[in-house]
Every structure is written in structure tokens, then in C-alpha cells.
Amino acid sequence: MLNLFLNPWMLLGLTGILLPVIAHLLSRKKYDQVDWGAMQFLELDNSAKRNVRLEEYLLMLVRMGIVALVAIAMARPWIGSDWLGVIASSQPRDVILIIDGSCSMGWDEKLDGKTPHIRAQQLAREFLATLRTGDAVQVIDARERPQIVLPESTRDPYRVKEAIHDLPPPAGSADLLAALRQGMKLLAAGTSLTREVVLFSDLQALSWNPDDETLWKQFDDLRSQSPITPNLWIVDTSGGELGRGPNFSLEKLQLSRELAILGAPVRITSKVKASGSDTATTRKVFLEIDERRLNDRAIQIKIPPNGEIGVEFEYRFETPGSHLISLVLDEDHLAGDNRADAAVTITESLPVLLVDGDRQTDPTKSETFFSLAALRSTEGDQAWIKATVITPQELTIEHLKATSVTVMANVPTLNEISRKGLRQFVASGHSLLFTLGDRVDQRHYQSILAAGGDEIFPGQLEEIVTEKEADKRGVRILNSSLELPWLQPFRSDRGGSLPDARWSRWWKVSIPNQPADPPGQPRPAAANAQTAAQKPLLPSIENDEPSLLIGAAIVEARLTTGDPLLISRRYGSGTTAVLTSSLDADWNTLPAKQDYVPFLHELLFSLAVPPTSRNLSVNSPLLLAVSPELNPDAYQFLNPAHQSLPVEKRDDEFQSKVLLRNTPSPGPYQFLPRSKPSQQIVRAEYFAVNFDRQESDLTCLTEDQQTTLAAEDRMRFIENLPDLQKKMFTESSRTEVWWLLLYVFLGFLCLEAWMTRRMVLGGYSAPTE
């Protein structure tokens, strides 16, 4: 019932109808009477007394009605009816226009440029011409996260048309349910009785989640909470052409390394998928480096009908810095999924800090002797890894600022300064590796590093385990646990010698909230990685302060006993890891194996760059470490459309960074100076923002799905603009009736004045019993 009023709280004014009753009761006060001789001739008979009482009650009811009409009129009641269409069309409206911005809206059936997105923009502009001058309009660009286009609703149609014209081209995926929710939230703050949400979409099923009953129930709950339920109109802009033809798409790029050494090969792999094709099709795949196409590196592939085929490239970079790698398919009907990007960082060498917890006068007995020798054993004059060895007492913030990976090799304890520095070091995007040994103080690590389960040590130390004599073959690395890409080349079935190394001692490390696995049956590393991927890996940026996010621990390698050998975990923007044994020959035979050198290099390179530092998903913030002296006003971010975006700078005691908070459009982003210095080559810092590649599925909503979504008058699907105008302005009309109540109020007011005057002129006095 309250849904029939715009201001239901004004109905509290109905309590004012008690005022006439109180006034009536007060008017019945008895007065002293003095009888005189002719009194008997003036007394009213019983019939006249009844008439006076009747007029008195009628006057009280009229006055109560006057108060009630005022209260109800101020509550702004409304009614809906088809015959009120002409009246309602003149009422002001609050309108939300939603334009589907997903990749599928770029489908070009005839390759003539008339995509569903272009048609949506045209229909939206035509629809604006049908609105009244006082109608308030807001525009939402429906992407993976809805983007409100205008700062506030406006009654200026030219401003709305300009905003619609300037919408970016379709790209990535779209959450249309979230866009509808956002539209209803904006309408909840409106003042008009008639509220409309008009969504222009190609009706691609993926964007609707039609089978997710939980999401739609939540949507219905939100819709029912609105005092004025808005009308939802869905206009099909596909023209029935979406998916009528073959489509070819590229999957997300996979790089052998996101951080590579100058001159070292970088392997780029992906897959090309075909849908809607009845025959095998030949396509070309081009390689682009820093947005420059290498035509001589193009390859031609033959894709089976509705199948897929892998593609692989290899490239060696000759200049250090940030680079953009792109694979591009030749043109088809949907351009948005023909390109895939990835960013890679090329360096002359990787700086690594080795903190030796057992430094000896004889270098051959030191904890880092074998690892230091392995890192210096690369071919050529330039080592791939530039290693520096210090003792725990020598560790300072300045050491950490100059390195990418820090290895704590059998370090017994850490002082407060070291702990604080290491936390900042990892949280800011670097990596920390603990290698254990007999000098590690268990109580110290338990009480300091693992306190609360949110510190930089990814587990809890329990005890030192010794190889049992009954195991004749010895304890080794479980070959089946080497499932991560960087570990697979070391498997025994691929000729690796890593599983042949024998482990005589190791620390038993437990992972909180993870059940233990029976010996010989470890949880696959891929499953651990999937669990960790469900947690956000980057710090969220809210209220100008980042929240430190701790990922789930991943067991990357196990021993044949089932005990973890290598554990890693995300900490803020960086990674922390622990090798439960040593890197020297005290507890294992690993340094004697031919895989020791490549294993150590791959381990450090896998830790060197956080997996999502330069390759992110849509709406993730971009963070880049910079010099403290950098002036953010002199630099800019460029989005995929090469539009300039402002730079925010964040300074802390460990490292300065620049920030771009929002990345709604997929594709390559750049960070570079606003003006190019004369006679100087300026290299951009590249980022690659990726989207959900399922967007290439062009399956549309079926008629049954549309019927289910439109059930209980939730929304209405419209095929053309005239049909929308007819149903919006007539069949779903609403109008306020407070002005009718004011006319009735004036009538009651006149009636009250006439009755009062009649009773006064008639010599009325309240009759007494």
C-alpha cells in the first residue's frame, strides 16, 4: 500500500484528524444557566436538537476530511492505468540509458561498420528526441564494471547526446545485471514518479547469467525495495545478425617469463579458437612488438571446424626496459577478440641479495657457497643474476632497495629493523625466499614471523625430519608434484635430474587451514594454485589507502614423504616463499645434480616478478615503482584509446610509486612523459589489461530464457524503437493524483465555511443534555 505514495512518511500527518475531535469535545463545555419567565417558549424540541447534533457531527467530519486530504496530498499518491497514458506522458521522468559495451557489440556481419554498438548509440539518440524537456537522463556504459558516464543526471539532451557519442568502442565483457542494479540505485534518489531504465544490448547470453537464480533473486529483492518500481526496457540492437557467421578468437597470451634477460629467448604461446565454422579455415597470426607489426614473423595456421589450434612464437629483445608483446589475427566479423597482449620486462641482470646465516672464514663451508657459485656460472661475460652476499647483521633498508629477490639462507633470527624492512620489501612488490637449515631458531620464527597467520613466513615450523634408514632409495622430490610451468622441465619424464636428488634432512612445515596429505599422495600443485587464484592478488585501493592482501599458500613441490619442499604465498604485491631444506650440500645432494644451476635460476626468476605486476585483469589498479624525485604532473598514463589519464603518486619510506586506479577498458596501457625531451628516446612503461575470453561465445538468449527473465513483469524485451515508445508512454503510464485531492480539499473547505456560517446565523449553541 505504501508503494502508492512517493512520500509515505508524510502520512504521519493523518494523526492531525484528531484535532477537530478535540475541538468538538472542548466546545461541549457546560455553562451556568439562569431560567427566566419566557424560557419555556424558546426551548428546542427533540427533533430540532437531533438536527443540531447531526450538523455538528457533519461539520466535525468535514474538518477531519480537510486535515486528511492535506496529509494524503503531501504524501504524493499515484496510480497507474492505461487510460492515463496521455496525462502521464506529460509528467517528468527519470531515465537511465544503458549501452552494452561488451566485445560482442562490435560484431560486424557485413563488414560495413554497422555494429550493434553503433545501432545502440543511434537508437539512444533517437529515443532522446521523444523525451520531454523536464526529463532527467543519466547514461551508464555497461562493462565488466558499470561506468557512470555523466557526473549527475541532466535535463540537457545535447549533453546526453555528446556523452553517448563519446562512448569508447566495445571491448571486454559486460555485467548487464550489475548495470541494471546500478541504474535502479540511481533512480532511487530521483524525484519523478515515472522512472525508466532502457538497456540497449545485443542479447548475448554470457552477459546476462540467465541460469543464475541466486543473482536474479537478489536483483528482485533490490527492485522490490524501491518505493517506485522502475520500468525496465531491453532493446535488441543485434538486428538478428549476432553470431551468424564464423568467428575466430585468440586466447590469453602465456609467456615463458614476465621478467627476462637481455638477449634471452622469450616464448609466447596462445590458442586460436573457431566457432560457427563448418569447414577448416586458414588464418594468419601476426606478431607485434611495442605496437609494431613484424610481417616477416607472421605464421599461417589451419583451424579445424569449431576447433582450436595452438600457436607459438619466440623473440629475443635487444633493448632493456618494458615491452609490449601482441598477437593479432587477420580481420573477421568480430575485431575485439582478434588481439591478445602481454607486457614483459627485460633487464641486463637480476639483482639478488643472499643473506648468509652461516658465514664461515672458509668460504666453502658457508651457507651460500654453492648457490653463489651456481649464479656466477652462466656463460658469457654478463651473468644473468647479479648476486650480493651479506650477513644478517649487515642487512639494511638500502640493501633491500637495490634488489629484486632476497634469499634468507639459514638465518637464525631477525631483529625488529630487519622484520619491518622485509615486510615493506615484499608488500611493495618484491620477493623473499627462506631456505632452512640447522641454525634456524624455531621459537623465534613461530612467535615473530608466523604470529597471527598474516606474516611473511608462509607456514609454521614444527620439527626437523631425518630420512629413515628403512627407505633404501632415500627421500626424493615427488615427480608428480612438479606441475607448475617453470618446474615441468625438471621432471624425470622430461629428462630432468631434479627428482634424483636425495634429501636427508628437512624442516616439517605445516600450512594453516590446509589438511595434511597422506605420504605419496600429495595435493596437486595446480589445485593449490587454483585455490590461491580465488583470492585477490593485488592490493585494493580505497580511501587513498591500500589494504594488504595475503594469498593462500601454494605447495609448489613435495617430497615423497608428502611433506612440502617449496611453499609460496602472495603478500601484498609481492611473493614470499620457503624451501624447507638448505641450498648447500649439508642436507641434500641437490648441488651435485646438473639441474642445480638451472633450477636455482628458474626459482629466482619465478619469484622476481609478481604474476600480475604488468599483466592484469580489467578494473585492476596499475602500480609502478618510480624515483622519489619524479614529478607526477610531468607524466601521464595512456589507455588503449591513447587518451591521457592523470597520475597519482604514493610515497612511503620504502619506495615511491605511481598509480592509476581504474582500468575499465582492456588492452595496452602506457606510462610516459607528457612531452618528449628533445634528442632523447623515451621508452614507455607498458601494462597489459586482459578480459574474460569467454566473451567470444556469441550465443544469444533463447526465447525461453527471455520469457524467464521477463517473468512477473520484471522487464520487457523490445524489438524496435516505435514499439518502445508505444508501450512506455501508454501501456505503462503512471500519474500523480495529489492535484485531484487539492480540488477536493477546496470543496471541503468551502463546505466547512458554509456550514459554519449557517450554524452561526441560526443562533447555534451546543445543546446540553
From CA 582, how far away is CA 600, in angstroms rounded?
Answer: 12
pLDDT band of 599, cuts 50, 70, 90 = very high
Task: Fill in the amino acid letter for 174.
Answer: A
For residue 595, the domain's CATH number is: 3.40.50.880
- 443 and 551 part of one domain: yes
Mean pLDDT of 305-334: 93
For residue 193, the domain's CATH number is: 3.40.50.410
- 439 and 517 part of one domain: yes
- 116 and 262 part of one domain: no
Model pLDDT for residues 654-705, shown as the tens digit of each residue: 778 899 988 989 999 999 998 866 555 678 899 999 998 888 888 899 999 9
Residue 758 confidence (pLDDT) above 90: no
Residue 81 confidence (pLDDT) above 80: no
Picking from 422, 765, 374, the residue whose alpha carbon sits closest to that of residue 594 is 374
Q: Which of the listed ranges 37-46, 80-89, 90-99, 688-697 does the model predict with the highest average pLDDT?
A: 688-697
The residue from 566, 587, 608 where one domain ends is 608
What is the pairing mode between strands 339-347 and 321-329? antiparallel
Residue-level pLDDT at 427: 83
List 199's β-bridge partners, or say none. Answer: 98, 234
Picking from 524, 376, 518, 505, the residue whose alpha carbon sits closest to that of residue 440 is 505
From CA 688, how far away is CA 622, in angstroms rounded?
Answer: 10
- 226 and 322 part of one domain: no
Domain that holds residue 749: 2-29+47-77+738-761
> What are the phi and psi torsion angles at 192 (to 5°)?
-85, 150
Model pLDDT for residues 442-455, shown as the tens digit of each residue: 888 877 654 444 56
Question: When comparing pLDDT for 392 and 25, which is higher?
Answer: 392
pLDDT band of 130, cuts 50, 70, 90 = confident
Residue-level pLDDT at 48: 57
From CA 673, how far away is CA 633, in angstroms rounded?
Answer: 9
CB burial class (10 A; 0-12, 13-18, 19+) of residue 249? buried
- 183 and 122 part of one domain: yes
Q: Is residue 665 part of a domain?
A: no
Could you tell me what percent of the chain has a pLDDT over 70? 82
> What are the phi and psi torsion angles at 229 (to 5°)?
-70, 120
Please state which of the ranges 89-93, 278-282, 456-460, 535-539 shows the lowest mean pLDDT. 535-539
Question: When comparing pLDDT for 325 and 602, which is higher?
Answer: 325
- 515 and 600 part of one domain: yes
Picking from 414, 442, 574, 444, the residue whose alpha carbon sits closest to that of residue 510 is 442
Residue-level pLDDT at 419: 81
DSSP 705-759: HHHHHTGGGS-EEESSHHHHHHIIIIIT-EEE-HHHHHHHHHHHHHHHHHHHHHH
Residue 547 confidence (pLDDT) above 60: no
Please state which of the ranges 32-46, 192-206, 492-506 shows the lowest mean pLDDT. 32-46
Distance of CA 361 to the CA centre of its chain: 54
Asked if 645 and 660 touch (Cβ cutoff 8 Å), the reply is yes
Residue-level pLDDT at 746: 82
Residue 760 confidence (pLDDT) above 90: no
Picking from 171, 306, 328, the residue whose alpha carbon sits closest to that of residue 247 is 306
Q: Is residue 315 part of a domain?
A: yes
From CA 207, how far away is CA 408, in angstroms rounded?
Answer: 48
Picking from 170, 64, 193, the residue whose alpha carbon sits closest to that of residue 120 is 170
List 473's β-bridge partners, or say none. Answer: none
pLDDT band of 546, cuts 50, 70, 90 = very low
> What are the phi and psi torsion angles at 61 (to 5°)?
-65, -40
C-alpha grid cell, residue 57: 457531527
> What are the phi and psi torsion angles at 419 (to 5°)?
-60, -45
- Give the chain's mean pLDDT: 82
- 752 and 719 part of one domain: no
Residue 368 confidence (pLDDT) above 60: yes
Q: Is residue 375 part of a domain?
A: yes
- Total count of residues recorded for the chain: 769
Asked if 204 and 242 touch (Cβ cutoff 8 Å), the reply is yes
The residue from 347, 369, 399 where one domain ends is 347
Model pLDDT for residues 602-616, shown as the tens digit of each residue: 899 888 865 457 898
DSSP 79-143: EE-GGGHHHHTTS-EEEEEEEE-SGGGG--TTSSS--HHHHHHHHHHHHHTTS-TT-EEEEEEES
C-alpha grid cell, residue 322: 618494458
- How far is the CA of 142 from the CAs of 159, 172, 182, 197, 289, in angstroms? 19, 10, 10, 13, 31
- 731 and 742 part of one domain: no
Q: How many domains does the chain have?
A: 4
